[in-house]
Amino acid sequence: PFSSKDVSVFTNCDEVRLILYKKDTLSIKQNRQLNKMPSPIIVFKDVFNFADVKNLHREGKADQASLIAEGIINGKVVTRYKRMPATRATRIKLELANLNIPLVANGSDIITVIASVIDKNGNVKRLNNEYIKFEIRGEGMIVGGTKIMANPKKVEWGTAPILVRSTTKPGKITIKAHVLEEGINKPSSGEITFTSIPSALPLLFKEIGTGEETKTEMNKDQDKSSDQDLKREILELKKQLNDIKLKEVEKQQEEFEGIRKDD
C-alpha cells in the first residue's frame, strides 16, 4: 500500500518488458548513451496502484495481481522475475543463506539460516511483526540467545536470521522455527535439515559433557521436544479445521454478494 507508483527495474539487459496484471504490456529499451551508464535503472512511470490489486482480489482474480519483468537481450527473453502481493501469512519457511558453502565440523564454522514468513503461494509477508523461536537438534548450536535478542528473533521485513555454529562431529543438523505466540490463526512452524562435513584439518580439543548427568539432561530435552512436537501437530489439525471453516464463510459471503449484485 505504501509502494511508489513508479516501478524500477535493475538490470543489465538491453530491454525490459513489464507485464501488468497479466494484461497490459510495456517495454523500455536501455539508452546507455543518454544516461552515460553501463546499466542505468529502467523506470516505468506511474504504472502501479495498490487499489488495482485490491479490486482484483475482491473480484476473485488474485492470481492476476502480479507484476512480471522480462529481461531481453538480442530480442530473446533471458530472465524473468515475478512479484505478487502476499496474502495472509500461513507458514514459516527456512533456508540456508549460502547453499553452495558447506558447514565444516570444526567447532567454529558458522552458517546463516533465514526464516521467512510466507503465504500459501510462497510470497514473503513483508509487513509482519512476529517473534520467531528457533530450536536445534544434531551436530550444531545456535549462536546467542535472549540476552542479545538472537533467539527468539523479531521478524524484520518478513525475515528473521540466526547463526548456527558447527560442533566437532560431522552429521545432520535439524532446525525448527515457530512463532513465539502460537495459535490457529498464526503461521505454521517450519523445519530444515542439512549436514555438516568433516574438517580437512586435524582438531585439538578436550571433549566434555559425556558423563551420565549430561546423558540424562539430553534425554529430558528429547522428551520435552517430543511433547512440543505433539502439541504442534494438534495445533496444525486445529488450523486445518479453521481453514475449512474460513472457506465456508468465504463461500457464503460470495453467494451473498452475488445475490446483492443480482438485486
Length of the chain: 263
Enumerate the β-bridge partners of residue 194: 173
The Cα 239–Cα 90 span in angstroms is 10
Q: Is residue 64 within 8 Å of 82, Cβ to Cβ?
A: no
User: 184 by DSSP, 3-state: which?
Assistant: coil
Pairing of strands 24-29, 91-96: unpaired
pTM of the model: 0.74
pLDDT at 47 over 90: yes
The Cα 263–Cα 254 span in angstroms is 14
Instruction: Check residue 65 and give its pLDDT.
Output: 93
Could you tell me the CA-to-CA distances from 145 to 70, 117, 132, 149, 152 in Å, in that order?
43, 21, 12, 6, 7
Sheet holding 91-96, edge to edge: 91-96, 110-118, 159-166, 140-142
Instruction: Check residue 194 and give its pLDDT.
Output: 97
**188-215 per-position pLDDT tens digit:** 999 999 999 999 988 876 554 444 444 4
pLDDT above 90 as % of the chain = 60
**Radius of gyration (C-alpha) of the chain in whole angstroms:** 24
CA within 13 Å, CB half, 64: 14
Instruction: Check residue 209 and give its pLDDT.
Output: 45
For residue 216, what pLDDT band results from cuts at 50, 70 and 90? very low
pLDDT at 43 over 70: yes
State phi, psi for 220 to the nearest 5 degrees.
Answer: -65, -45
**107-166 per-position pLDDT tens digit:** 999 999 999 999 999 999 998 889 999 999 999 999 999 999 999 999 999 999 999 999
